[in-house]
Structure 1
């Protein structure tokens, strides 16, 4: 099998933390490595850092298929490692290693994300250009997170909501069902559980059951249209409330999985939102529910934030 003169082109970077993630203002340091089997002439070698969001979906209208696409660019940086007409243009056989450094701009960047109809990706790309040859290319992704100050007063504030309804039984109205619920704050981190505090009054003739869940809503925007996808992340349920029972239900949702995507609220073409839904399931009727929008971040409560 034919083997090229330039082989094993790769790009790598040094991790800054255990989670191998980066945020605005961080410095990415790495290396470009490749092997050369014989002396060659190089025009130039570049390394670039790119970040963008893109969405894409289709919809059918009879026989016609409409395509919806949109893109948004965040960063585009480039380092020229080997310049044209320099002393480094002639390379000898062997392994060659070149270092590079980028600083991520101090701008608002959405967190990395891959969804059903869109994504936010950040990549490093190395390109080696030679006369009369197609460029040799290597791409390496890196993860960016948008730091959220979950210690801010507005995110530490508890959320409360109440609702009630009357359930009809044949032609007669049954007694009211009332739900009051509270969660401790508006922002949570991966691996945390969310506690539910609720008071329930079952004045109906039916047996009802309290439940709660975290749902993720992905929304994508293009050409004036939007596409949404809702997924349940975790859920919990309590013991039944029989007819005439009034009491409290203090439940605890399972820990937020570590592979859960972070909230994205700073992108024009896609959003990732989370909602804690607390409800009572009512047989043969629409559930009575209250909703609490929450933010999911990667930092624990005692993490030293900078904003």
Structure 2
């Protein structure tokens, strides 16, 4: 019968969302509870970050597999060194404090998708002579510092569209988004000024889209998903209207990923006018999805940099 009654690993959270970033230190405790004095070969903690993508493509009778992997880092700390032949741990509860620092290098945020994933893990391994080692592993949420340096509070976009060669009537649209960075569950506020000098009716439409790209270097697969969309009231001919829209970001939306050669996850807010028998004029805003603690800090810094009334925009 094994003398190991319990083997657990716990780490301490640094923020409400329990995520880590480059340069952060993971601290915690490994606990080994024994029913008698026990010889241990080694005990260590390991943290690592890995990415992989994989998908297949069928072309007639041929099936082609696309696959790539990437290791971002691996760090290890021995709690019981393997340099000694055997270390005797006493009966009862044995606590081992650990401290692992994530390298201060640019790495992408955690991600899990249909064709790939970026995963950061923490693992404790207990080894004894002539016994199968015991492992305890858990995933840690990672958020990249590359997404923590945004300074724009309000974004503007405009488009003009000619509606006829002879009449020279046109449609003008100016769209405004209250900020660039959001968190899952937040609401995006959009305001649109539409000047329709044409004889056509049209409807404003709003769409929040997620674009995920998987890449092996030699091949790329793109997946587009509409997270939410809304349709505004009809804009009559020869009129001017101010339209507003509130789009709620789904609570389970994953964070933006922009600094990985294998996976890219980006978000776009598309504002466009649905005009019959005409190309729809549109304005597209790139958005960033981040943990709320990061979004609030970035927004606060942006407000300090651009206090009320100081932000510039189209007149």
TM-score bin, normalised by smaller chain: 0.7 to 0.9
2:214 matched to which residue of 1? 220
Post-superposition CA distance 1:28-57 (Å, at most 9, x none):
111112333444322111110111221111
Q: Which residue of 2 aligns with 1:21?
A: 19
| Residue 269 (structure 2) aligned to one of 273, 276, 292 | 276
Task: Give the structure-2-normalised TM-score.
Answer: 0.82
Whether the 8 Å contact between 1:51 and 1:74 is mirrored in structure 2 is: yes
- Report the equivalent of 2:71: 73
Pairs within 5 Å for 1:106-125: 106-125=104-123
Structure 2 CA distance for aligned equivalents of residues 149 and 77 of structure 1: 24
Alpha carbons 1:215, 1:234 under 8 Å: kept: yes
Distance in 2, matches of 1:211 and 1:297, equals 25
**Alignment CA distance shift 1:66-1:102 (3 Å):** same
- Aligned residue number for residue 311 of structure 2: none
- TM-score, length basis structure 1: 0.84
Q: How far is the alpha carbon of 1:98 from its aligned partner?
A: 1.4
- Assess, with a 3 A threshold, how the Cα gap between structure 1 residues 159 and 150 changes in structure 2: closer, same or farther: farther
Distance of 2:11 and 2:139 partners within structure 1: 10
Deviation at 1:12, TM superposition (A): 1.0
> In the comparison of the two structures, how many residue pairs are matched?
296
Q: Distance in 2 between matches of 1:85 and 1:200?
A: 73
Check conservation: 1:157, 1:184, Cα contact below 8 A.
yes
Deviation at 1:142, TM superposition (A): 1.0
Q: Map of 1:95-244 to 2, 5 A cutoff?
A: 95-147=93-145, 148-152=147-151, 155-156=152-153, 158-164=155-161, 166=163, 176-202=170-196, 207-244=201-238
For residues 45-60 of structure 1, what are the structure 2 equivalents within 5 Å? 45-60=43-58
CA RMSD of aligned residues (A): 2.9
Structure 1 segments (4+ residues) deviating >6 Å: none
Cα deviation for residue 266 of structure 1 reads: 1.0
User: Secondary structure at 2:158's aligned position in 1?
Assistant: strand
1:170 alignment counterpart? none
